[in-house]
Amino acid sequence: MSKVARVLIAGCGDVGGRLAVRLHGAGWEVYGMRRNVAELPAGIAPVAGDLLQADCPDQWPREELDYLVYSAAATQHDETGYRQAYVDGLRHVLGWLRERGQLPKRLLFVSSSGVYGQAGGEWIDEASPAEAQSYSGRIMREAEQVAWSSGIPATVVRLTGIYGPGREWLLKQVRMGYRVSVEPPLFGNRIHADDAAGLLAFLLQADLAGKTLDDCYVGVDDEPAPLHEVVGWLREQLGVEHWAEDAAVRRSGSKRCSNARARALGWAPQYASYREGYAAVLRER
């Protein structure tokens, strides 16, 4: 009988929780670490802990871990908060592994396409320069380096704009008559929360099956789209006819991210574009 794979998800929130459910359903032994373990999905072994604290959580698993997923989310949106969540927190978890003498087969670090600073509508992939000058991009890039230099085989997953149930900022803005520039088009990149979790699960299961993983993947759907196109489509779906009085909103950044590397490994998003993804969100409301 084959050994059950064991994974700890550090930062088991929205995407981490969706990942936990998928892996648990596939027969994995899943540990979920978060401050409030009462919010963990059913069947997930709780690890009550704070990534910002240096002390190892009392519930840290004693068993050997096959995989570690670091899926933190900054609760304080400034330079200090980002450094604590992504750099310091990851270092804490790596230290806890060393304390316990644990060496997982692989670390998945959930990063962001915000590490890319391109803003002219260029196509971006894993080989593109990641040189964003924003504090969030710089700190996330630093955290990626911590993962890659951890001594554990590490794969970074740069997720694009996550949307889905509970992540409905754009829907709220559209209902308020959100205006957006048409020319030049502001290309945005999205991934449904279920597809974000699905990609992470796919990579873990591929590694478990002996497939060779790259050190980085971009998590995005098949169709980067101009923001004005997305807004126009959502206006039709929601029946919004008014416009906000304010002048057109100018959002910084414009790039088109490619999922070709993940697709070449065999992954495909459940929601190919914003249309399928937002249609599902609207049906569930």
What is the structure's pLDDT at 120? Answer: 93
Task: Report the alpha-carbon distance of residue 192 to residue 178 in Å, rounded.
Answer: 21
Domains of the chain: 6-283 (3.40.50.720)
Please name which of 224, 204, 208, 210 lies closest in space to residue 267, comparing C-alpha atoms: 204
Q: Is 23 helix (H, G, I), strand (E, B) or coil?
A: helix
Per-residue pLDDT of the chain (285 residues; tens, 9 = 90+): 358 999 999 999 999 999 999 999 999 999 999 999 999 999 999 999 999 999 999 999 999 999 999 999 999 989 999 999 999 999 999 999 999 999 999 999 999 999 999 999 999 999 999 999 999 999 999 999 999 999 999 999 999 999 999 998 999 999 999 988 888 889 999 999 999 999 999 999 999 999 999 999 999 999 999 999 999 999 999 999 999 887 556 556 799 999 999 999 999 999 999 999 999 999 987
Task: Report the alpha-carbon distance of residue 176 to residue 161 in Å, rounded.
Answer: 21
Task: Specify the length of the chain in residues.
Answer: 285
* Contact criterion met (CB below 8 Å) for 242 and 178: no
Give the 3-state DSSP-derived string for 111-135, with helices as H, strands as E and coil as C: EEHHHCCCCCCEEECCCCCCCCCCH
* Contact criterion met (CB below 8 Å) for 168 and 192: no
Verdict on whether the full-model pTM lies above 0.75 = yes
pLDDT digits (tens, 9 = 90+) for 24-33: 999 999 999 9
